[in-house]
Structure 1
């Protein structure tokens, strides 16, 4: 097999395997946070930290989109966070929340856990 064909096949397999991965659970996210924390300064270079950052950005983007859709629809909203860039969420707050979840809730998707955290942190009044 030529190099170009081999590269195309590998790229296709990598693409398909990425698409087939399931959503990270709250427990997996917490375990990855703990692992990254244990690495100390080396965590900045870790692929695990990049994966954590990508997952949290993906879920926060979904969250912001959902809250914006609810606001435009004029109905009840899930939660009422401050405008983007004005609210600060510390990783330690999220870690504390995830650590306190019962074992059954740690099996839920990280997305669900984050939405619940945001509802608790930014309730609509």
Structure 2
């Protein structure tokens, strides 16, 4: 698969779309990303990709809400991302992070892994 299509697909998978109620582990999310990547451009129509979008949207919504609450409270914040719409998280970055997690950490909820990724990517200074 060419790099541009792959990057666009991974970014689409990793970032937003619809809501969901399931709680995937980091390993499950990574496995689904790998499966979607293997489908090529057809992945964009896959129910697996819709599930990934839903999970990433749900977790990013929780993350943004938590960061906003921390900022409003005036105390220390978990991480300091740019305002919504100004920062770009690439699916490939997230995939690389999840791939490098030790097996024990891959069993944690995807939510925990994403929060840790965001803390690493956007530390407060």
What TM-score results when the alignment is normalised by the length of structure 2? Answer: 0.83
Match of 1:64 in 2: 64
* 1:84 partner SS: coil
The list of structure 1 runs, each at least 4 consecutive aligned residues, that deviate by more than 6 angstroms after superposition, is none
Which digits, 9 at most, give the CA deviation of each residue in 1:85-125, with x for residues without a partner?
A: 00000000000000000000000000000000000000000
Give the unaligned 5+ runs of structure 2: 1-19
What TM-score results when the alignment is normalised by the length of structure 1? Answer: 0.83
Q: Distance in 1 between matches of 2:57 and 2:63?
A: 10
Q: Distance in 2 between matches of 1:52 and 1:101?
A: 19
* 2:123 partner SS: coil
Match of 2:15 in 1: none
Which digits, 9 at most, give the CA deviation of each residue in 1:12-53, with x for residues without a partner?
A: xxxxxx96xx51000000000000000001101100000000
- Count of aligned positions: 106
In our comparison, the structure showing a higher alpha carbon Rg is 1
Q: Distance in 1 between matches of 2:30 and 2:37?
A: 10
| Backbone CA RMSD of aligned residues | 1.2
Match of 1:75 in 2: 75
Say which is worse superposed, 22-31 or 114-123, in terms of deviation. 22-31
Q: Distance in 2 between matches of 1:46 and 1:71?
A: 37
Q: Distance in 2 between matches of 1:124 and 1:41?
A: 37
